């Protein structure tokens, strides 16, 4: 039994009859995305977390202000002591 030629192995040789290439036509539709309200709130939460993580743990300006007030003997009155005591007992009442 004799085996005859099968033909070219390269499939590109069958495309030699195509002389012209065509470019795709640009589409009039633009790309867009829709972000759900849940995704927006997650993004806002992430941004707030990043701001908090990059902020200093101690606000030096407030510490200096309080130190200055505590050094003033006229600042510490009975009403100030009562407010501080109330805030120590119930910190959510700030």
Query: Domains of the chain: which residue ranges?
Result: 58-94
Report the 10 Å Cβ neighbour count for 76: 13
Cβ atoms of 59 and 65 closer than 8 Å: no
Alpha helix (H) residue ranges in 2-93: 37-54, 60-71, 78-89
As a residue count, the chain comes to: 94
- 50-63 confidence digits (pLDDT tens): 998 998 888 889 99
**Cβ atoms within 10 Å of 26's Cβ, excluding its own:** 6
* Percent residues over pLDDT 90 in the chain: 29
Q: How far apart are CA 82 and CA 76, in angstroms?
A: 10
89: helix, strand or coil: helix
What's the predicted TM-score (pTM) here?
0.34
């Amino acid at each position: 039994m004799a085996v005859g030629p099968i033909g070219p192995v390269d499939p590109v040789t069958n495309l030699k009859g195509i002389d012209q290439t065509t470019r795709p036509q640009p589409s009039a539709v633009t790309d867009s995305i829709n972000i759900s309200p849940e995704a927006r709130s997650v993004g806002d939460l992430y941004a707030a977390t990043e701001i908090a993580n990059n902020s200093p743990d101690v606000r030096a300006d407030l510490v200096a202000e309080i130190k200055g007030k505590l050094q003033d003997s006229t600042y510490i009155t009975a009403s100030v002591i009562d407010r501080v005591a109330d805030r120590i007992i119930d910190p959510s009442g700030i």
